[in-house]
Structure 1
Amino acid sequence: MAQVLVIEGSRTDDKNTNILLKILCECNVDYRVDCASAHWYAGLIYADYIKKIKEKIIIFIGGMSPSAPGIISAILRNLNKHDTIVIGIPADKAARSAIEDLPMGTPVLMPGFNTTSVKHSIINGGLTAAKLALAQSNNELIRDGLSDWFLNKHRKKPIERIVLNDKGLIP
C-alpha cells in the first residue's frame, strides 16, 4: 500500500499533478494517483470510492472550485476514519475558496495559495505530505529525501554580502 493517495479532479490537472509527484519522488514517499471528480461521480459512487481508500494521507489537487477535499473529509468523518488526513491543493484562485471555506468539523489542510506562482503552493503541498508521511512512519528514506531537498534548495541561494554604494543604498 502506498503512503499517499493523490487524487486529481480531472486529467487537465496532469501538469500540476506532475509537479507534486516530482516532490513526492524526491522525498522518497510512496504514492499512487487516481483521477476522480467529485462532481461527475457525486453520491454513492464517490462515497464507495472513498470508503475503499487505505492510504492515511490523501492529497486532492484541482482547479475550478473543487468540492472534493471537503466531500472527502466529510465522508471519512462519517466512516469514523479520523486517522486519515486530507490535503487540498488549489490549482487556481477559484479552487482556493472552495478549499478554505469549509464548515466546522470538515478539516482539510491547505498549504497556502501563492497568487504569484501556483507551483510554490503545489511544492509546499508535496513537502507537507512528505513531512506527514515521515511523522506517521519514521521512515529514514523520507527523512533523507526531505533533508536532501532542503539542502539542494538552499545551496542554490547562498548568503551573499551586498556591497552598498556611496550613499549607503543597494545599487
Structure 2
Amino acid sequence: MTDVVILLGSKSDREIARKTIKILDKFDIDYKVTVASAHRTPKRVTELIEEAHKNDVKVFIAVAGLAAHLPGVVAAHTIKPVIGVPVNAQLEGNDSLLSIVQMPPGVPVACVGIGRGDNAAILAAQIMAVDNKELELKLQDYRKELSEKVEMDAMSLFE
C-alpha cells in the first residue's frame, strides 16, 4: 500500500521532492516518487494514477513548473486529494502557481507555495490524520517542535 504518490513533471524537480520526502519520512508515511509529464507522457500519467488507485493511495502530490498542468491532469483522473507544488522555472514561479490554482469548478487542486514540497507533505499528512489518531499526534508534536524552535531563536537572537 502506498499512501502518497509524488509525481514530478521533470527530473529537475527532484530538489522539491527531497523536501517532500524528508517530511513524509518523519511521519512514517509510505510514498512512491516518479517522473511523469502531463504533456510528454500523458499515458504514463494515467497509468500511474490507475496503479495508485489499486494500491489504495490516499493523496497525490504533483510537482510541476511552467504551464504546470500535471496537478490538474491528475485531479481530472481521481477523486483523491491532489496537492500541487508550483516550481520556480520561469516568471519566478508565478506562471506555475496560477496554472495550479486556476482549476475549473468540480476539479479542485490544493496548492502550496512555490517550491514548498515540505508543506505539501505536511498537508498530505493532515489529510490522512483525519482518521488516523497516531498521525494526528505526530503532527501535534511537530507543531510543538516548530514552536519551540521559534522560542529558542527568540532567546538567542542577540547572543
TM-score by length of 1: 0.76
1:127 offset after TM fit, Å? Answer: 0.9
Deviations 1:25-56 (A, max 9, x none): 112222111111111112x4433332222212
Alignment of 1:30-109 (within 5 A): 30-42=30-42, 44-54=43-53, 55-76=57-78, 82=79, 84-92=80-88, 93=93, 94-109=95-110
The answer on 1:138 being equivalent to 2:132 is yes
Tell me which residue corresponds to 2:5: 5
1:72 offset after TM fit, Å? Answer: 1.1
Any idea what SS the aligned residue of 1:89 has?
strand
Q: How many residues were matched structurally?
A: 146
Any idea what SS the aligned residue of 1:158 has?
helix
Deviations 1:101-132 (A, max 9, x none): 11112111113x26xxx3xx332211100111
1:90 offset after TM fit, Å? Answer: 0.9
Q: Return the index of the structure with the highest Cα Rg.
A: 1
1:149 is aligned with what amino acid? Answer: Y
Tell me which residue corresponds to 2:140: 147
Where in structure 1 are there 5+ consecutive unaligned residues?
A: 77-81, 162-171
Deviations 1:50-88 (A, max 9, x none): 222221210001222210111111122xxxxx3x11111
Where in structure 2 are there 5+ consecutive unaligned residues?
A: none
Report % sequence identity: 27
1:139 offset after TM fit, Å? Answer: 4.8
Any idea what SS the aligned residue of 1:66 has?
coil
Structure 1 stretches of at least 4 aligned residues deviating more than 4 Å after TM superposition: none
Aligned-residue RMSD, C-alpha: 2.0
Q: If each structure's helix is expressed as a fraction of its own residues, which one has the higher value? A: 2
Give, in whole Å, the separation in 1 of the partners of 2:101 and 2:62. Answer: 13
TM-score by length of 2: 0.81
